[in-house]
Structures are given as structure tokens and as C-alpha cells.
Chains A and B, each alone.
Chain A
């Protein structure tokens, strides 16, 4: 519910069609204010969708959507505004395709292939692989909180704006995500031995 609510709040509300700004000025402004956040947008989509092709599609469409509703953007925080659009598109996509659960073996194989490394580097690589797997295994709402906080370094307030949730919910999601992450990593460490 949070997803659709904030989509309607950020993107669909109060879109004034013929505002007095030429299309080329608008495009230039969009490319200046919103487009620089492409990597951030892609990072979020890639983690939420766990698939490169879907992430590209959803990000591309999110930017077009952002562009279409750019005049309703209040000029404050372009990145948080864009995150709101991207995450809503991702969650809608997940619901539509119901692929939000297990990563495929193919994905795992692709990532773990690589050159042989010295033992300490192998350990580090295994740790990182475990970390990656454990983040991917989080429920999408928790994964979103971790990605926005740790990788995109958003404040709780910014996350609450982007995800359309209360500040307390940001905190409890992060708390629970971290507990799950820790449990998962402990379990993996035992597996490896």
C-alpha cells in the first residue's frame, strides 16, 4: 500500500499540463537535476529486481515517467523524488511478475565464477558473496531500506520520503533487516565451516 500511495502523491498529483516553460528548457532542467541520479536509481532497481534486464527496463520507464511529471516536482530533493518513482515501479513490477522470492541458480553461478585467488582473497570473496546473497534474500521492503541507507547513504528522513513510509517504519525496517542479515550471515558462516 505504501508504494501506490506515494506514487499517487509524488507523481500523479497536481500535474499542470501547460506551464510556462518551453519543452527544451524543461528537458535541459530535467537532464541537469534528475538525470545525474541515474546510477543511484539503477542501483536501487538492480537490488530490488535482482535482474539486470528488468532493472534497465524499469529504470528507463521510470525516467520517462519522471520526465512526464517533472513539472509537478517541487524542486527540493531530486534524488529522493526519483527514488520514489523508481521504487514504486519496482514494487509494482515485482507484484506483477511475482518474482520477488528466490534468486535463480543461474544468477548465483554467474557471480561466483572468476579467477582463482590466493586463500585470503578467496575468504574475502566468499564473505562478500555471502553478504550479497543475504541482502538479496531479504524481503524487498527490508532490502530497499538497507540499499538506500548503506549504499545510497540516505538519511531516515530521505528514506521515509522516497518510500512513502513513516520515520518509525524506516527505523523498524532497518532494525529488522539488520537482524535478519546477521542471522543469515551466521548461518552461512556455519555452512562454510
Chain B
């Protein structure tokens, strides 16, 4: 395991969230990496500081009594303006939150995010929320979870088996993520409605290949440790379908 990959796992390690296999690999790396050990100590120190610093707020006295009272009387206890504001906000929330999150993530390049997301999904063994090799099961699963309908194509006969899907949030956008398997390699295919400025092309980073393209109004990003030639073949099969 190289250090840049290990560093992404240090937080989950300190949080006790790595699966047994990932933890084993990380421990091997830790046995020979001083800088990662230093980061772990810093993370643990920081956690102690946050947890022992009296930073947790307690509800002010009287709030519980007020809540009990309004539950029993069935009346709203506080101002209507709040909820009308919230109702108005929900109408525009999707637009807003996309902008907000985009703003936060401007420094993080989408490609790096996609790779981290891919690695993290593999690390925790959490690759799919809907597990099915059947495209007619996977596609409807996205209904109501995201506001677009991604094309779900089964390529089992061409050697790319559909394993399932999940929803991710990348660069402030909801992505439908389809998970495919080629031999022992996992491919994550991220799909979202195309936007102006969506990049296309092939790149590689940290040992992963990333291929991006847009088609029929959708933007596609395929990420895998599979070799570039076969990942391109995967893209070509999808485009031809």
C-alpha cells in the first residue's frame, strides 16, 4: 500500500470503521511508516481535545417542558415564520445546495473525489446499496433517490458483470453509481446529467484509470484499477449500446 492511499484510510482507521482486510493492510503499512503514525497520533489527540473540551451543548432548561406541552396540546409552539421560510426553502433547496456544495468543493478536483469515493467504497466493502445483476431491478431503484434516470446496461455477455448500484454525492452533484465487475476488478461508473464544462478523456492517478465522456445529455465517469485498454473497451461497449 502506498502512503497517499494509506492517508485516506487513517481517519476511518482511528474511527474503527475499516473492515478487517483493509485494517490488516493498513497495519502492515503503519509498521514501516513514521509519518502515518504521526498523523494517527494527531488525530487521536484532536479527538480527545474535542471530546473533553466541553464542546457539547445541552438543551436549555425549559425547552423539554415546552416541547412536551405542545405535543400534548397538539399545537405548534413556535413561530410560523420559521416553517414558512423552510417551506419556501425546500422549493429551491436542490438548486441552492448544489451551488453551496460546489462552492465548498472547488479545491477538490472531481477526478480525485471520484477516485477517493471508489477506494472508500472498496475499503468498507460498501460498494452497492442495491445488489442485482438485473438491469431492470437496478434502474427503478434510482427512482425517488435522484432526480434523473440513468441508463443501466448489462454487459455480462461481454465480460463486464453488473453487480448493482448506489447513490453518491460528488462535487455537489448526486451521482447514480453503477458497479461492474471484470474478473477481479471492480469498476464504478458514475452518471449524472451533463453540465457545461464537464471534462472528457482518460487519465490515471494513484494506480487507477479514469475515463470520462458525455453522451445523450449524461456525463459518465468510469473508475477502476482495471487496465486502460479494457476500461476503454468498457466505455466503447456502453456507447455502442
- A residues apposed to B, CB below 8 Å: 1-5, 7, 9, 27, 30-31, 35, 38-39, 41-43, 46-47, 52, 55-61, 63-64, 67, 89, 91-93, 95-97, 100, 127-128, 131-132, 135, 139, 141-142, 146, 149-151, 155-156, 165-169, 171-172, 174-176, 178, 181-182
B71 near A64: Cβ-Cβ < 8 Å: yes
A7 near B15: Cβ-Cβ < 8 Å: no
Q: B60 in the interface, Cβ–Cβ < 8 Å?
A: yes
Binds A, one of B40-48, B198-206, B212-220, B232-240: B40-48
A92 near B90: Cβ-Cβ < 8 Å: yes
Given A42-B63, A46-B57, A142-B104, A166 and B72 touching (CB < 8 A)?
no
- CA of A181 to CA of B11 in the docked complex: distance in angstroms? 13
Given A95-B93, A149-B15, A178-B11, A141 and B104 touching (CB < 8 A)?
yes
A31 near B68: Cβ-Cβ < 8 Å: yes
With both chains docked as a complex, state the minimum distance between the C-beta of B198 and any C-beta of chain A, in angstroms. Answer: 18
When A and B form their complex, what is the total count of cross-chain residue pairs whose Cβ atoms lie within 8 Å?
174
What chain B residues lie within 8 Å of A165 (beta carbons)? 169
B86 near A167: Cβ-Cβ < 8 Å: no
With both chains docked as a complex, state the minimum distance between the C-beta of A185 and any C-beta of chain B, in angstroms. Answer: 8
- CA of A14 to CA of B82 in the docked complex: distance in angstroms? 25
- B residues apposed to A, CB below 8 Å: 8, 11-12, 15, 17, 42-43, 46-47, 49-51, 53-60, 63-64, 66-68, 70-72, 76-79, 82-83, 85-86, 88-90, 92-94, 96-98, 100-101, 104, 108, 113, 116-117, 120-121, 124, 126, 129, 144-145, 147, 166-169, 174
20 intermolecular pairs with C-beta atoms under 8 Å apart: A27-B72, A56-B63, A56-B78, A59-B67, A61-B76, A61-B82, A61-B83, A63-B67, A63-B71, A92-B93, A141-B101, A141-B104, A146-B50, A149-B15, A167-B124, A168-B126, A169-B117, A171-B12, A178-B11, A178-B43
